[in-house]
Amino acid sequence: MRVLVTGADGQLGHDVCREIGKEAIGIDISELDITDRQMTLAYIDKLCPDAIIHCAAYTAVDMAEAKPDRCHSVNVLGTRWLAEAAKGIDAKFIYMSTDYVFDGALDRPYETDDAPNPLSVYGRTKLEGEDTVRNILEKYFIVRASWIFGLAGNNFVKTILRLGREHGVVRVVADQYGSPTYAPDLAKLLAAMIHSEKYGVFHASNEGFCSWYDFARFVFEVSGLDAKVDPISATEYPAAAVRPGNSRLSKKSLADAGFAFLPTWQDAAAHFCCCSGATAKCGSACVNARVLR
């Protein structure tokens, strides 16, 4: 199976290509501008992959508030052209979506059929992307993930480690809850999905829930970094885009389809710190659960 992976230079696309291996054809904007309809249709028609895993997205959540047209162009129009191209060659399609399609008002984990209500430009465009995929394709997987981090690209874990080293004290939001998602773990799930025909909408993140504050404290603990984390409220953190207070995602959809759950977020964070060199010695949470790559 030939699998085209968009956003191959990003943290998730990078790990998806690595997980799929020789079957993967990784592309980024230097190879294809997905916002150009004719270029996209021609490129996909010529390449004719068996499946497309669409990881490319405009993910600058705060910047999107000032650049809504650019965000819409990438997340909605780019997705539309790829979906049209996939339909033309009868290719399977995975669309990566986000917890930001929800407003976070529920006091329980979100199910896949709960009503979306995005609070930000980014969230609205990702939801429009979902609707676009549903309207065009039948052989699709829509996968909502949250708080993605990995060895490639920028993310919360890398930022919090850098700030901890530079300042010794960091202020982190303590009243927003969700599940971190480790890109290598998610990549394994996406690879399993694309080789199946269990189409539908899924929630995928590492097991367990935490606040950003809890996440930061654990990262410092497992990395052995002597830094302090001070809890603050979301209202104290200056951000242009509103984030959902509850980003917890139910994994019932994965269980119903027979897909394996991802490891715990603590295991994932420990593995990241080992592989990234954030800690000199791997902790038991990493060594006992994984073979380092």
> Annotated active-site positions, please?
122
Direct distance between the N- and C-terminal alpha carbons of the chain, in angstroms, rounded to an integer: 24
Question: Cβ(53)–Cβ(12) under 8 Å?
Answer: no
d(CA 226, CA 164): 8
Q: Judging by beta carbons within 10 Å of its beta carbon (0-12, 13-18, 19+), is residue 293 exposed, middle or buried?
A: exposed
Q: Which among 132, 152, 153 is positioned nearest to 142, based on CA atoms?
A: 132
Q: Is the dihedral of CA 104, 248, 269, 252 positive or negative?
A: negative
| 3-class secondary-structure state, position 146 | coil
